[in-house]
Structures are given as structure tokens and as C-alpha cells.
Structure 1
Amino acid sequence: MTEINPTTSSLSPAQLLTIRKQAEDMEGVFLNMLTKEMFASIKGDENFGGGFGEETWRSMQAEQLANTMAQSGGIGLADDLMGQMIALQEAANASRGLTQSNIVASTGVYGK
């Protein structure tokens, strides 16, 4: 796990928080896909009726489980993504000649 040092980054604290949130969201999406596939392999239980209702419930359960895992530290994917996202943002800022003193917090890699 790469430790991010905010004092050496050209990004503002607000940008670092935004990047962290985006990385955690991406990890949540990945974990959601993973848990949905895991639950898809479980056979329906006759005691709970099976069918569409059970499938819907399992889908919601998988989504909630994935979000909880991501918010609790996940599997480390967000940390790796964050390091890469910071490097991309700093490279984009450098190519435009932006520094922490003149950067707009909402400026992204694509100049939005």
C-alpha cells in the first residue's frame, strides 16, 4: 500500500478527498460485481420461495455487502487506484502549468 503524503502533492486537500472518494466508489463497484457473481452461484432455497423476489433480495444484499466492505477498507484496491489517480492528476496539472496556489479545486484530468 502506497502512503500518500499531502505535503508533497501539488493537489489541494479537497482534491485529495475527492480522489479518495472516487477510488472507494470504484472499489465498491468492483466488489459489487464480485459479490453478485458469488450470490449467483447459490441455488434458490425452497423455504424462502425462490423466484424473482429472492433474486431481487440477493441483488440488494450483494450491493450492500460490497458497499460495506469498500467503506471498511475493502481489499486495498482503492489505495492502489488513488495513487494512480493522483499521479495522473498531477501530470495533467503539470502539463497545464498549474500549482497548488493557482489550481481550482474542481479542475480534473480532463480540464472540467
Structure 2
Amino acid sequence: MITLNTAPPAGGTPTPPRMRQTAQAFEAQVLAQLMQPAFDTVDTSKSAFGGGSAEAQWRPMMVEAFAAGAARSGQGIRIQDMVLRHMLRLQEQAGTTPTTQQENRP
């Protein structure tokens, strides 16, 4: 397994949990998009449950759950670290730090 350097860029600002969650959610979305074609080609007509339209309707949600689990456990494609570093770099360029930003959400 490849381990990327997860240290923040120069400046040493701490990584807020919300930014890490956003980067992880992005990785899960990318993984789901990559996994979906593989699941679309599976023939489930001879499976124990018989496949059918109901299974086809729920399959995208299953793929999203698999992708989210892989991203959360660190077994994904590990782009969340790169995304997080880029987010921190953009914040530094804007002249703000993650701990001083005000939330605009209710």
C-alpha cells in the first residue's frame, strides 16, 4: 500500500476535521464513479436472490456504501490526502487559517 505524506503544507496549520471529511467524501464519490461500471456488468439473474429490477434500483446505493467504506478505512485510492493538502494550500493563499474561519452554515 502506498502511503502519502499527510503533513500539512508549510505553515503547519492543523487539519480541521470538517476539511478531512470533505476530502474523504470526495474520494468516496470518485471511487463510486470508478466502481459503478464494474457492478453494471454483473449478471445477477442466476444469483440466490434472482436479480431483477429491485436489485438494479438499489445497486448504486450499494456501490456508494462500498466506496464510502473504502475511503473511510484508507483502502481506497488515497486521493483524499492530496485533496486535503490542496484545500489547505488554497486557504493559505487566501490568507485564512482553518481555525479562524467562521462557519456560514446554520
The TM-score with structure 2 as length reference comes to 0.74
* CA displacement, residues 12-61 of structure 1 (integer Å, 9 cap, x when unaligned): x4x62221111001001111112222101112323433321121232222
Q: Which has the higher helix share?
A: 1
Aligned equivalent of 1:2: 5
Equivalenced residues, count: 99
Secondary structure of 2:16's counterpart equals helix
Residues 26 and 80 of structure 2 are in contact (CA less than 8 Å); yes or no, is this contact kept in structure 1? yes
Aligned equivalent of 1:110: none
Residues 91 and 97 of structure 2 are in contact (CA less than 8 Å); yes or no, is this contact kept in structure 1? no
RMSD: 2.7
Residues 24 and 78 of structure 1 are in contact (CA less than 8 Å); yes or no, is this contact kept in structure 2? yes
Identity of aligned residues (%): 30
Aligned equivalent of 1:31: 31
Aligned equivalent of 1:43: 43
Q: Which amino acid aligns with 1:66?
A: A
Q: For 1:63 and 1:104, how far apart are their aligned partners in 2?
A: 31
Residues 27 and 71 of structure 2 are in contact (CA less than 8 Å); yes or no, is this contact kept in structure 1? yes
Q: For 1:99 and 1:55, how far apart are their aligned partners in 2?
A: 45
Q: For 2:102 and 2:93, how far apart are their aligned partners in 1?
A: 16
Any gaps of 5 or more consecutive residues in structure 1?
A: 108-112
Matched, 1:71 2:68: no
Secondary structure of 1:46's counterpart equals coil
Any gaps of 5 or more consecutive residues in structure 2?
A: none
Match of 1:92 among 70, 94, 99: 94
